[in-house]
């Protein structure tokens, strides 16, 4: 916007605070801000007004230290000549929100869009941490398209239990198996899990939180090195200050999310996700962010650009270490530098630093080769997601970096198989059904069984639940069989080490192939061809369709109804249908 009188560039906030055409409204907008001591001179000075989208609260413990980090952000904004205005976002706490935090991502997105669009903000610092807090914020920043910068909260310190490193989530999955096998009691179970959370911060494994913050950095939306700094380290406060400063400069430079979030940036993020052994939740979240950024990202891009990238980070759940060691080894910039030097990263992408990614990575390198491997001596070759399709779904993914040697030998490497596996389906309708029946001998589950869960997608759950990483029945666990092949239209926790076939789209509740599968059917998984099919003939499938789609729970809240009316499938990011049409709305100021 240009000033009518002087022709100079006017800030968005001046339309509220310094608008000669609307003196009455200007007076009204200004007066109530005074009541906490801010002065009209400040708000009318033409200085950038920078929002701090505060995601921390008592209900979002993973992000709660942002309440303190925001003080350093404010200092940075003031020192760079801006005015900070902090406001809360809708809380999202991954571990506690029922029926799933995934239901809230689009709600937090909607809320943030309204705030960024409808209030006098020139730029915004997005405070991120717990899983969905990162994609919801970046989705909103793209829709509104005002200058925005991510401040990650950082992971918790490394957890230790009886001399062993215990990571968020990974200890839970391991303890569950030990508990079911009778190796530990309930008190030991709870103790081990408590010990995995020794400080403020988000999950310290490469779960969805660490992954999404790493990808925000890989996309170019945070300062270099921001994602991996542990929440409790002094560098976290320092980068909060620098992020605040930079937010003001972004407004002065008019550098917006649309300048940074290009297709090349998203492909970089896909590659980084493979190299860090990132969460399977990166698939729907990155897809959602791309949609809102107006970038065409295809489901197959995961395989075409990500699959042959090796695993470089030895971090749980794909590896051994946790957030502190990852940070000390160089964190995300060290990973990106490895990819760049191997010619597998687009270094020309513009970033919020004002420089290109390659420029950001100058002087960055791996400082601990035990934790971050060289590109040509990785932990695993070809560690990205496999994309599968067949008559059970049009799209699903499998995280290859967590396939254990034991699983590989049992299912994939036998001479007669080589990546092809056939088994008998055991089908569960939602997780209650799974918990009720998994140990039922009548199901005759053995190591040739494939566990299937449906009704767990965006429409079915609703929200799409992290339930596909189903544990085998106790009798198999006691024999040391810790994982079976699993398939589902839900997701799995980013901290899970299960080689599930997940995010199946379309889901059962939308009439996808899983709806017509029955216990006892044969399923054929061919990883070489990227196919997964039920060996049931067309006529029989047609007969089963007469039974209708397996029922799912009714809407329990108004938002659940609205969510179901608007949500797309996981292959498409489970976004609000049509929301992407609103990209760039800050260009025109809202009416008074
Ligand atoms: Fe919040 Fe993992 S539960 S980051
Ligand atoms: Mg999760």
Q: What is the ipTM of this complex?
A: 0.94
Structure confidence at residue 407 (pLDDT): 81
What confidence tier does 416 reach under pLDDT thresholds 50, 70, 90? Answer: low
Fold classified for 385-553: Glucose Oxidase; domain 1 (3.50.30)
In angstroms, the CA 546 to CA 173 distance is: 39
Tokens of 336: 């990106």
CA of 317 to the centre of ligand 1 (A): 14
What confidence tier does 581 reach under pLDDT thresholds 50, 70, 90? Answer: very high
In angstroms, the CA 453 to CA 468 distance is: 6
pLDDT tens profile 109-130: 999 999 999 999 999 999 999 9
- The answer on pLDDT for 415 being more than 70 is no
In angstroms, the CA 318 to CA 517 distance is: 31
CA-to-CA separations, 393 to 262, 300, 370, 512, 570, in angstroms, rounded? 29, 14, 40, 6, 12
Reduced to 3 states (helix: H, G, I; strand: E, B; else coil), residue 155 is strand
Structure confidence at residue 173 (pLDDT): 87
Which range among 224-238, 490-504, 532-546 shows the weakest confidence by mean pLDDT? 490-504
For ligand 1, residues with CB inside 6 Å are 62, 94-95, 130-131, 168, 202-203, 207, 209
What does the DSSP 8-state code read for residue 465? -
pLDDT tens profile 305-348: 999 999 999 999 999 999 999 999 999 999 999 999 999 999 99
Q: Between vectors from CA 432 to CA 61 and to CA 560, what angle results, nearest 5°?
A: 60
* CA 527 distance to own-chain centroid: 25
Rounded to two decimals, the pTM is 0.97
Which range among 19-28, 236-245, 371-380, 411-420 shows the weakest confidence by mean pLDDT? 411-420
Q: Which atom of ligand 1 is nearest to the CA of 168?
A: 2
CA of 494 to the centre of ligand 2 (A): 6
Domain residue limits, the chain: 47-158+198-361, 160-196, 385-553
Contact indicator for 86, 54 with CB cutoff of 8 Å: yes
CA-to-CA separations, 398 to 327, 519, 590, in angstroms, rounded? 27, 22, 44
Nearest CA to ligand 1 atom 1: 130
Ligand nearest to the CA of 280: 2
Contact indicator for 471, 484 with CB cutoff of 8 Å: no
Contact indicator for 169, 494 with CB cutoff of 8 Å: yes
Ramachandran region, residue 503 (left: φ > 0; alpha: ψ -120 to 50; beta: rest): left
Structure confidence at residue 5 (pLDDT): 67
What confidence tier does 177 reach under pLDDT thresholds 50, 70, 90? Answer: confident
- The answer on pLDDT for 261 being more than 90 is yes
In terms of DSSP bridges, do strands 420-429 and 522-526 run parallel, antiparallel, or are they unpaired?
antiparallel
Ligand nearest to the CA of 131: 1
Average pLDDT over the chain reads 95
């Amino acid at each position: 916007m240009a000033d009518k009188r002087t022709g100079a560039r006017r800030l968005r906030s001046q339309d509220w605070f310094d608008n000669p055409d609307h003196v009455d409204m200007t007076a009204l907008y200004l007066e109530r801000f005074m009541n906490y001591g801010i002065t009209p001179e400040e708000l009318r000075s033409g200085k950038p007004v920078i929002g701090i989208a505060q995601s921390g609260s008592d209900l979002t413990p993973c992000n709660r230290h942002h309440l303190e980090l925001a003080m350093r952000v404010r200092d940075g904004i003031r020192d760079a000549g801006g005015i900070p205005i902090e406001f809360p976002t809708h809380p999202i706490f991954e571990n506690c929100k029922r029926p799933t935090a995934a239901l809230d991502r689009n709600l937090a997105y909607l809320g943030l869009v309204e705030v960024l669009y409808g209030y006098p903000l020139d730029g915004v610092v997005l405070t991120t941490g717990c899983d969905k807090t990162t994609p919801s914020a970046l989705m909103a920043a793209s829709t509104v398209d005002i200058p925005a910068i991510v401040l990650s909260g950082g992971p918790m310190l490394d957890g230790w239990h009886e001399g062993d490193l215990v990571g968020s989530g990974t200890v839970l999955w391991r303890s569950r198996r030990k508990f079911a096998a009778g190796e530990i009691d309930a008190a030991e179970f709870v103790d081990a899990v408590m010990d995995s959370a020794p400080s403020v911060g988000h999950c310290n494994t490469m779960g969805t939180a660490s992954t999404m913050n790493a990808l925000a950095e890989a996309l170019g939306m945070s300062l270099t090195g921001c994602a991996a700094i542990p929440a409790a380290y002094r560098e976290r406060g320092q980068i909060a200050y620098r992020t605040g400063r930079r937010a003001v400069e972004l407004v002065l430079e008019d550098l917006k999310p649309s300048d940074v979030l290009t297709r090349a940036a998203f492909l970089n993020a896909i590659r980084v996700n493979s190299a860090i052994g990132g969460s399977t939740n990166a698939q729907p979240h990155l897809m959602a962010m791309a949609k809102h950024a107006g970038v065409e990202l295809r489901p197959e891009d995961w395989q075409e650009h990500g699959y042959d990238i090796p695993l470089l980070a030895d971090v749980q759940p794909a590896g051994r270490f946790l957030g502190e060691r990852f940070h000390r080894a160089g964190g995300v910039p060290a990973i990106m530098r490895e990819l760049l030097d191997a010619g597998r990263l687009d270094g020309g992408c513009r970033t919020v630093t004002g420089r290109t990614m390659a420029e950001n990575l100058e002087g960055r390198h791996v400082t601990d080769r035990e934790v971050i491997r060289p590109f040509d001596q990785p932990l695993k070759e070809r560690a990205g997601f496999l994309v599968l399709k067949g008559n059970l779904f049009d799209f699903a993914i499998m995280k290859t970096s967590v396939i254990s040697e034991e699983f590989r030998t049992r299912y994939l490497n036998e001479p007669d198989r080589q990546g092809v596996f056939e088994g008998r389906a055991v089908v569960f309708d939602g997780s209650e059904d799974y918990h009720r029946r998994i140990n039922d001998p009548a199901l005759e589950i053995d190591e040739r069984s494939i566990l299937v869960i449906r009704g767990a997608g965006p429409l079915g759950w609703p929200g799409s639940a992290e339930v596909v990483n189903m544990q085998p029945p106790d009798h198999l666990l006691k024999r040391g069989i810790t994982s079976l092949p699993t398939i589902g239209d839900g997701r799995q926790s980013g901290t899970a080490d299960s080689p599930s076939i997940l995010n199946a789209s379309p889901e059962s509740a939308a009439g996808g192939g899983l709806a017509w599968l029955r216990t006892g059917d044969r399923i054929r998984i061919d990883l070489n061809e990227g196919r997964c099919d039920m060996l049931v003939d067309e006529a029989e499938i047609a007969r089963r369709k007469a039974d209708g789609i397996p029922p799912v729970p009714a809407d329990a809240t108004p938002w659940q109804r609205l969510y179901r009316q608007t949500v797309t499938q996981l292959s498409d990011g489970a976004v609000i249908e049509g929301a992407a049409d609103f990209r760039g709305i800050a260009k025109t100021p809202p009416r008074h």
